[in-house]
Structure 1
Amino acid sequence: MTTLADRPHTALLVIDVQNDVVRGAHRRDAVIANINTLLARARAEDVPVLWVQHSDADLPLDSEGWRFVPELTRRADEPLVHKLYGDSFEDTELEALLAERGVGRLVVTGAQTDACVRSTLHGGLTRGYDVTLVGDAHTTEDLSAYGAPSPELVIAHTNLYWQHQSAPGRRGGTVETAAVSFGPAEAS
C-alpha cells in the first residue's frame, strides 16, 4: 500500500520513552511492558527497530531525564535517531535509515501521545508511509490542569481518529499489541 517504491518492509518505532518524558505518564508500566513485548517479537521476526530520542532545553542531551527508561534496552545494531522537534522525521536521519532498510510501513509506539507520537504519525503518512499506531503502547502525561482532556481521553481520541486515517495509496490504522502484524499493510 505505501506510495514509497521498493519499500516492502515494516519497522517498529520507539519514540521518546525517556525517563522524564514518561515519569508521570498514564499507565506507564503497562505501556512499557507492551513495548517490550513488541520489541521481542520484532527482534524474533528480524523486523527493524528504530529508537527516537528527543532533546531540548527541558530535556538536555546526556542528562538522566533524557535517557531511555531502564526497562527498555536498545541493541547496538538498532539505530538511534536524535531529534529536536515533535515529528521524528523533521531534521533527522530517520527517512534515510528507513530507506536503507526498505521500510514503507511503520508500527509506532512511545510518548507523548499528543505531541511527538501524533506529530510522527502525521509526518510519516504525509511522507508516503503506511503508519500503524499501537493503541495500548503509547502514553502521555496529565495536562488537564492546563485545559487538556485527561490522558485517557487523549489516548482514546488519538486511537479512534488514527484508525480511520488514509491518503492516496497509504493509510493509518490502530491496533492493540496482541494484534500487531509486522507484515506489509493489507490493501483495503
Structure 2
Amino acid sequence: MTTLADRPNTALIVIDVQNGVVDGALGRDAVVANIQALVEKARGEGVPVVWVQHSDEELQEGSEAWKYVPELVRREPEALVHKSYGDSFEGTNLEDVLARAGVGRLVVAGAETDACIRSTIHGAFTRGYDVTLVGDAHTAGDKTAWGAPPVEAVIAHTNLYWQYQDAPGRTAAVTPAMDVDFKG
C-alpha cells in the first residue's frame, strides 16, 4: 500500500538505542528486550534491520554515550545510518539503503519517543512509506523539567495518535512487539 512503486519489502528500523539516549529512560530494560526480540525475529525472517545512530555535541562519535547499548549488537551486513537530525532521513543515506532493499514499509522502534521517533515516523510517512510503530518498543527520558508531559503520557499519546494517521495510499499502525508481522 506504500506509494513507493516496486517496494514490497519491510525493514525494521532501530533508532538511537544508545547508552547516552536510553540511560534512565522509562522502562529501558523492557523496551530494549522488546527491541532485541524484534531484531532476532527480523533476522530469522530475512527482514532487513537498519540501525540508526545519532551524534551531536552530547553524543560525540566514538564516546561511550554514543555507542549502542550492549544488549543490541549490529551484524554485518546490516546497515548503519549515522544522523545528526531528529528525522532519520534528513542528511543521511537512509532513503538509499531502503530503496536498494526494495523497502516500502517500516517497522520502527527505539528512542526518543518525543524526538527522533516522532520525527522519523512522520518523515517516513510523508515520503510515502507505510509505517508501523511498535508501541512497547520506544521510550524517552524525563523532560518534565522543561514543561513536557510525563514520559508515560508522551508514549501513550504517540501510540494513540499514530494509529489514526491517514494519508492516500499509505498506512500507519501501532502494534505491540509480540504481534509484529513483518510479512503483513
TM-score range, shorter chain: over 0.9
SS at match of 1:157: helix
Residue 62 of structure 1 pairs with residue 62 of structure 2: yes
Q: Name the CA distance, whole Å, in 2 between partners of 1:9 and 1:168.
A: 19
Q: Summarize deviations over 1:74-120 as a string: whole Å, max 9, x none.
A: 10210000001000000100000000000000000000000000000
Between the two proteins, the alignment pairs up a number of residues equal to: 184
Instruction: Identify the residue that residue 14 of structure 1 maps to in structure 2.
Output: 14
Aligned to 1:72: 72
CA distance in 2, matches of 1:172, 1:166: 7
Amino acid at match of 1:136: D
Distance 2:167 2:124 in 1: 11
CA deviations 1:99-154 (Å, max 9, x no partner) are 00000000000000000000000000000000000000000001111111000000
Q: Which residue of 1 aligns with 2:114?
A: 114
Q: Distance in 2 between matches of 1:24 and 1:146?
A: 17
* Residue-by-residue CA offset, 1:60-81 (whole Å, 9 max, x unaligned): 1111100000011110210000
- Structure 1: distance between partners of 2:118 and 2:102: 23
In 2, distance between residues paired with 1:42 and 1:66?
24
1:91 partner SS: coil
Deviation at 1:166, TM superposition (A): 1.6
Distance 1:146 1:90 in 2: 26
SS at match of 1:169: coil
- Counterpart in 2 of 1:87? 87
* Shift of residue 19, structure 1, vs aligned partner: 0.3
Report the CA distance between 1:172 and its aligned residue.
Answer: 1.1
Q: 2: CA distance between counterparts of 1:85 and 1:171?
A: 24
Q: What secondary structure sits across from 2:96 in the alignment? A: helix
TM-score normalised by the chain length of structure 2: 0.99
Q: Could you tell me which amino acid in structure 1 is paired with residue 171 of structure 2?
A: R
Q: Is 2:158 the partner of 1:164?
A: no
- 2:40 alignment counterpart: 40
Structure 1: runs of 5+ lacking an equivalent: none
- Distance (whole Å) between structure 2 residues aligned to residue 76 and residue 23 of structure 1: 26
SS at match of 2:131: strand
Q: Which runs of 4+ in 1 moved over 3 A?
A: none
Aligned to 2:25: 25
The TM-score normalised by the length of structure 1 is 0.97
Please report how far the alpha carbon of residue 158 of structure 1 lies from its aligned counterpart in structure 2 after TM superposition.
0.2
Deviation at 1:58, TM superposition (A): 1.0
Q: What's the offset of the Cα at 1:171?
A: 1.7
